[in-house]
Amino acid sequence: MTNKTLSTLLVLTALIAFLGYFLMPAGPRFAEVPQFVRTGYMFFFGALPVLLLMKLISKIFPQGFQHETVSLNETMFGIFFVFLTKEAREEWRGYIREQKKREAA
């Protein structure tokens, strides 16, 4: 997923979650809302922190591990691979390649 796509999804998910929070009836009237609407609302409310974490991990972690060893960088890249955007993956791979060349020389 690219950085632009992640940003768009984050904004749309936040908008849907907050609008759902303010527009969804509270209390006993909530039972009148069909189950699939409540499930959909909960999906967006739960996806918001996950997307936010993906954004933060993609921005912070590649720079945070730059002054560590190559083996630690490779390990952390493997662990956080799923949460990184396409641009962050390329940046981290490039840094690992650069460090390997520097060690080989």
Which candidate, 104, 95, 102, places its Cα nearest to that of 66? 95
* Contact by Cβ (8 Å): 3, 58: yes
pLDDT of residue 77: 94
Average pLDDT over residues 14-41: 74
- Please tell me the pTM assigned to this model: 0.75
Average pLDDT over residues 14-21: 84
**Tens of pLDDT, residues 45-67:** 889 999 999 999 999 998 888 88
Average pLDDT over residues 23-47: 73
Single-letter code of the amino acid located at 64: G
Q: How confident is the model at residue 22 (pLDDT cuts 50, 70, 90)?
A: confident
Q: Which residue has the higher pLDDT, 35 or 61?
A: 61
